[in-house]
């Protein structure tokens, strides 16, 4: 997962600024975290899995919007 996050960071349109691997005592496993910044807000560290879930929701939302547009035509 770390390599995938590093690849995404290299995309100039990606909100990912940095990638790190940390150990979560709470989860008792290693977690890949990404530092993201979408606009002018302060960058924030979030789990890479959370970023993927956000993007999946965004894609699903866009799909539903496009379906509604198609149904109106």
How confident is the model at residue 71, as a pLDDT? 81
Q: Is the pLDDT of residue 21 over 70?
A: yes
What is the distance between the alpha carbons of residues 32 and 28, in angstroms, rounded to a whole number? 13
Q: Which among 7, 45, 2 is positioned nearest to 21, based on CA atoms?
A: 2
Enter the pTM of the model. 0.73
How confident is the model at residue 32, as a pLDDT? 95
The domain ranges of the chain are 2-72
Q: Is the pLDDT of residue 72 over 90?
A: no
Q: Is the pLDDT of residue 68 over 80?
A: yes
CA distances from 33 to 6, 43, 51, 68 (A): 10, 12, 9, 35
- In degrees, to the nearest 5, what angle opens at C-alpha 65 toward C-alphas 71 and 49? 145
How confident is the model at residue 44, as a pLDDT? 96
């Amino acid at each position: 997962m770390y390599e995938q996050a590093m690849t995404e960071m290299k995309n100039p349109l990606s909100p990912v600024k940095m990638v790190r691997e940390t150990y979560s005592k709470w989860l008792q496993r290693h977690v890949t975290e990404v530092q993201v910044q979408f606009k002018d807000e302060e960058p924030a560290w979030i789990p890479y899995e959370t970023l993927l879930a956000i993007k999946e929701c965004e894609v699903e939302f866009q799909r539903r919007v496009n379906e509604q547009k198609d149904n109106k035509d």
